[in-house]
Amino acid sequence: MFAIDYTDPGTPASKQAKQVTVEIDGRAVTVPQGTSVMRAASSLGNQIPKLCATGSLKAFGSCRLCLVEIEGRKGYPASCTTEVAEGMKIRTRTEKLDQLRRGVMELYVSDHPLDCDTCPGNGHCELQDMAEVVGIKESRYSMGGATHANAAKDVSNPYFAFDPELCIVCSRCVRACDEIQSTLALTIDGRGFDSKVAASQSESFVDSECVSCGACVEACPTAALSEKSLIALGQPTRTVTTTCAYCGVGCSFKAEVQNEQVVRMAPNRDGHANQGHACVKGRFAYGYATHPDRIVKPMIREKITDPWREVSWEEALGYAAAQFKRIQAKYGRDSIGGITSSRCTNEETFLVQKLVRAAFGNNNVDTCARVCHSPTGYGLKNTLGESAGTQEFESVMHADVIMLIGANPTDAHPVFASQMKRRLRQGAKLIVLDPREIALVRTAHIEADYHLQLRPGTNVALLNSIAHVVVTEGLAKTDYIAGRCEEDSWRKWQAFVSEPKNSPEAMQEVTGVPAELVRGAARLYATVPNAAIYYGLGVTEHSQGTTAVMGIANLAMATGNLGREGVGVNPLRGQNNVQGSCDMGSFPHEFSGYRHVSDDTVRAAFESAWGVTLQSEPGLRIPNMFEAALDGTFRALYIQGEDMAQSDPNTQHVQAAFSAMECIVIQDLFLNETAKYAHVFLPGSSFLEKDGTFTNAERRVSRVRKVMEPLGGLADWEVTQRLANELGYPMNYRHPSEIMDEIAALTPTFAGVTYEKLDRLGSIQWPCNAEAPDGTPTMHVGQFVRGKGKFFRTEYVPTQERATSRFPLLLTTGRILTQYNVGAQTRRTHNVVWHHEDRLEIHPHDAEARGIAHDDWVGIASRAGETVMRAEVTERVQPGVVYTTFHFPESGANVVTTDNSDWATNCPEYKVTAVQVVKVNQPSQWQQRHRELTERQRIQRRSRAGHV
Ligand code: SF4
Ligand code: SF4
Ligand code: SF4
Ligand code: FES
């Protein structure tokens, strides 16, 4: 029988330093003060029977199964709610205790079906286990009394069901929703026999405030809350520890598997990033991996108007290699390039950039991080010396103030958002800088102390005015700055931000934020012991994205908020491996570990290891590739795991560039939007089908482990390797661990990373090397990586994208909890129950002025293009600002966004597009063309597959 390899200590660990020694059943044990008797016993391997207690939740003391005897005390206290005291003598097994426990258990069993053999929880149920432990098979009380038999089930949630008949009203689900997830969607309704679990105001789960994180299901000791997959498939037979392939939190999971089928994804209680928690995407939305839309046979076609032809791997790879060679022979070595994927593993990403540099012989490699966090890399490298966030997630539990800038963690980084909410509920203060009222501004038990609701595109102006207050009101930490920062840069920056033009009063016209709010927020941030900044794409995806990142680093240095727990500058990375794809040398100007290609020593090391001569000039960035394609000099592209035709801005420009190329090779799971322009399709493999590593937003490298064989026969790294060999450049890795060994040998920050160490430690935060053999949770301790921190002048330069009479509204974009990026994965799961289309959020005033009502179809026009979607009239956005998500290709959100970009990195300005919005009754011309093309390709594919 499959069993969970987990010993539940019953209550959370105490963090107190003082130690206490007690005697339990004649054995002495020393534990931290504040430890429960139950946990102390567990540390001796003595599991006291329990039902309402679990190690992830505070003790509650309701089931009375965990009673113990304590010398000198009357009665039988509950061991879960009783803390140890020095010298305490405890007995956990006596005849009297056994008798009391049997009585308690009999009462539970009297109102519980005894058909364990057919129950989905069989072998997985704590009630079943405890009944066996206390020796109860049936109840004396079960004859004829009232029971909850046949109570109506709630099966409304697509992923889990609630069966009240199996519920023992232990309240673990309610407490999990409160203490772990912080959504507080559940309550126990009624009293005594009538008590029952209720979602929100006794609504169905799907209609309630529940966000389907699964914490309640995980906490439930019976099968009352069960995954539908478990009910359908039965118990798993093995587990594989792996890492979520969605967002940059990088949650660890135990995939519970039956043969090669995932029965459930259980959040790993030992996972360093998630500590046993998960969100609806990683926990439940994995069905895309086996969706019938998966393309599992390689395909080629000469022209994009031809139907696809299924071919062998040999033919597809041979054809792709021949095309690349032909094009290079005709147009030159630099006429082709490659795109690495932030969804693929570090090892796969490293191989793609190696393929481009060593086999293509140029530096034309770029990655989707270009369009999200490239300003983070540039901005933090220049100010602090390292292109990555400074903390581990746990650090937020030491923050007194959290400043959240342009990030929406409850939707985009949900597990970290829950941790942040826990800290806020402990009393930390919250400052939100966002044009939109994100959920954290006001949610259950949380209200932001300041919401600086700035106009899109004015981050730098607002950051400068915050810095102005810090400097001019004498709040800067001058000792810290004197010891750790470049004096000259500090002096110049100090003088710059002190200029009257940067004061909150002068800037409020620009930002739209009242000066007194800015002053209050600045004082709060600068005067607490620990203040931490967390930021997202609302900072980077601007024409001044890099300037804003530098402004954030300036602010943190000026207030001494770097180099210890509870502080820092923390970019919340979007995709699962966006940190890793940057670390692995995916940018055209640098090798792994952020070393410039012009550095002769570094280049020589790669040349020696790879046996080739490498270019010393940076290659083309993604936007340059598009321009060169339209100019006719860039003719072929290898794209691994990236749907640029949907995700990149100004879709029509991207489509034109793709149409101008002679050979596009796509490696992906599905025939995505980019595949419409492709000539070779190589089946990709999902995270369940391969070994490797991902690196999350904390710089945490975690193992991805194979659960099932690749549906197409090859893991992504094997495909790249075979393509390199076809091109005449030999690659002969037998396992991704050998690729990691090469990464470690060539990359100082990864020098100490091995698969053996990852297996041993669970995960490692780079830098991991001789100085930090187990990794580095906090960066810049003692001194900055670059030596002295450097302040950069951050002059506010307004974006060219301004509201005009023709385009009077500013469009900004973002994500929603249940969908992920271009939606290729989540659209192929039950998550569409919650979000099946992108909508345009518009303020009631703007809607009324245009005669637009909720649900109306509206046309959104910018100077780049037009699209149509449904309106959502809401005060979440301020007047003059509209907002949408970009998860559905037919919405065409990026048809509207422009090709404005960050001055330093070309990261697109997704967050500011001047638009007009009008009520319409038909799709835009682009949407009509898109539908026709989609339909034509669908028919071609079905006819080739013999379906019509
Ligand atoms: S649903 Fe499960 S966790 Fe919730 S009260 Fe019932 S038995 Fe306890
Ligand atoms: S799934 Fe998560 S949000 Fe929903 S009720 Fe359970 S714990 Fe609460
Ligand atoms: S928070 Fe992110 S990494 Fe964690 S389960 Fe959700 S999507 Fe996956
Ligand atoms: S486990 Fe202690 S009272 Fe339930």
Q: Spell 797-817 as b/e; 16+ CB within 10 A means b.
A: eebebebeeebebbbbbbbbb
Which DSSP helix (H) or strand (E) runs through 228? helix 228-233
Q: Spell 652-661 as b/e; 16+ CB within 10 A means b.
A: ebbbebbebb
Contacts of 443 (CB under 8 A, 6+ apart): 410, 421
Residues recorded for the chain: 948
- φ, ψ (nearest 5 deg) of residue 13: -70, 145
Residues 379, 553: contact at Cβ < 8 Å? Answer: yes
Calculate how far, in angstroms, residue 183's C-alpha sits from the geometric centre of ligand 2.
Answer: 7
Residue nearest to atom 4 of ligand 1 (CA): 173
Give the nearest ligand 3 atom to 246 CA: 7
Longest dimension (CA), the chain: 92
Residues 788, 557: contact at Cβ < 8 Å? Answer: no
**161 in ligand 2 pocket by Cβ < 6 Å?**
no
Calculate how far, in angstroms, residue 195's C-alpha sits from the geometric centre of ligand 1.
Answer: 11
Strand pairing class (336-340; 365-367): parallel
Sheet holding 692-695: strands in order across? 692-695, 700-704, 763-765
Residue nearest to atom 1 of ligand 4 (CA): 50
Helix axes 459-472, 545-558, angle to 10 degrees: 20
pLDDT for the residue 948: 34
Question: Looking at 797-875, which runs of residues are DSSP E strands?
Answer: 809-813, 839-842, 857-861, 866-873
Q: Of 51, 56, 107, 170, which is best to mutate to test ligand 4, by the most ligand atoms within 8 angstroms of its C-beta?
A: 51
Question: Looking at 736-816, which runs of residues are DSSP E strands?
Answer: 763-765, 809-813
The rounded distance, in Å, linking the Cα atoms of 215 and 174 is: 9
Q: Of 8, 167, 188, which is best to mutate to test ligand 1, by the most ligand atoms within 8 angstroms of its C-beta?
A: 167
295, exposed or middle or buried, with CB in 10 Å at 0-12, 13-18, 19+?
A: buried
Calculate how far, in angstroms, residue 253's C-alpha sits from the geometric centre of ligand 3.
Answer: 10
- CA atoms within a 13 Å half-sphere pointing along the CA-CB vector of 348: 34
Residue 146: CB atoms within 10 Å:
8
**185 in ligand 2 pocket by Cβ < 6 Å?**
yes
Contacts of 102 (CB under 8 A, 6+ apart): 134, 135, 136
**51 in ligand 4 pocket by Cβ < 6 Å?**
yes
Question: Looking at 377-495, which runs of residues are DSSP E strands?
Answer: 401-405, 429-433, 442-443, 446-447, 450-452
| Of the candidates 699, 697, 639, 628, the residue with the CA atom closest to the CA atom of residue 663 | 639
677, exposed or middle or buried, with CB in 10 Å at 0-12, 13-18, 19+?
A: buried
Calculate how far, in angstroms, residue 192's C-alpha sits from the geometric centre of ligand 1.
Answer: 15
The rounded distance, in Å, linking the Cα atoms of 508 and 511 is: 5
209, exposed or middle or buried, with CB in 10 Å at 0-12, 13-18, 19+?
A: middle
The rounded distance, in Å, linking the Cα atoms of 554 and 802 is: 27
Residue 501: CB atoms within 10 Å:
15
Three-class DSSP category at 647:
helix
Calculate how far, in angstroms, residue 234's C-alpha sits from the geometric centre of ligand 2.
Answer: 23
- CA atoms within a 13 Å half-sphere pointing along the CA-CB vector of 600: 0
Calculate how far, in angstroms, residue 25's C-alpha sits from the geometric centre of ligand 4.
Answer: 19
Residues 404, 432: contact at Cβ < 8 Å? Answer: yes
The rounded distance, in Å, linking the Cα atoms of 456 and 878 is: 10
Say if residue 767 is preceded by a cis peptide, omega within 30 of 0. Answer: yes
Q: Of 183, 247, 577, which is best to mutate to test ligand 3, by the most ligand atoms within 8 angstroms of its C-beta?
A: 247
580, exposed or middle or buried, with CB in 10 Å at 0-12, 13-18, 19+?
A: buried
pLDDT for the residue 575: 85
**176 in ligand 2 pocket by Cβ < 6 Å?**
yes
Chain-centre distance for alpha carbon 334: 35
- Answering whether pTM is above 0.85, one says yes
Fill in the DSSP letter of residue 209.
S
**249 in ligand 3 pocket by Cβ < 6 Å?**
yes
- φ, ψ (nearest 5 deg) of residue 578: -70, -35
**53 in ligand 4 pocket by Cβ < 6 Å?**
yes
Average pLDDT by stretches of 10, the chain with 948 residues: 63 96 97 97 95 95 95 95 97 95 88 81 86 78 65 94 94 97 94 85 93 97 95 93 96 95 95 96 95 95 93 98 98 97 96 98 91 86 92 97 96 96 97 96 94 96 98 97 96 97 97 98 98 94 93 98 97 89 95 96 98 97 95 97 89 94 97 94 97 96 97 96 98 97 97 97 96 96 95 94 92 91 90 94 97 96 93 96 92 87 84 94 89 81 53
Continuous H helices in 795-862: 844-849
Give whole-number Cα distances, 761 to 755, 765, 775, in Å.
Answer: 10, 11, 10
pLDDT for the residue 937: 78
The rounded distance, in Å, linking the Cα atoms of 64 and 66 is: 6
| Of the candidates 870, 859, 846, 863, the residue with the CA atom closest to the CA atom of residue 807 | 863
The rounded distance, in Å, linking the Cα atoms of 524 and 401 is: 8
| Of the candidates 66, 275, 56, the residue with the CA atom closest to the CA atom of residue 175 | 56
| Of the candidates 76, 78, 96, 16, the residue with the CA atom closest to the CA atom of residue 41 | 78
Q: Which residue's entry shows tokens 């065409």?
A: 892
Give the nearest ligand 4 atom to 59 CA: 2
Which DSSP helix (H) or strand (E) runs through 530? none
- φ, ψ (nearest 5 deg) of residue 837: -160, 155
Which ligand gives the minimal distance to the CA of 213? 2
Give whole-number Cα distances, 153 to 160, 197, 826, in Å.
Answer: 11, 12, 27
Residues having CB within 6 Å of any atom of ligand 1:
167-173, 197, 219-222, 224-225
Residue 333: CB atoms within 10 Å:
12
Helix axes 95-110, 126-134, angle to 10 degrees: 140
Calculate how far, in angstroms, residue 176's C-alpha sits from the geometric centre of ligand 1.
Answer: 10
pLDDT for the residue 411: 95
Residue nearest to atom 2 of ligand 1 (CA): 220
Question: What's the one-letter identity of residue 358?
Answer: A
Three-class DSSP category at 513:
coil
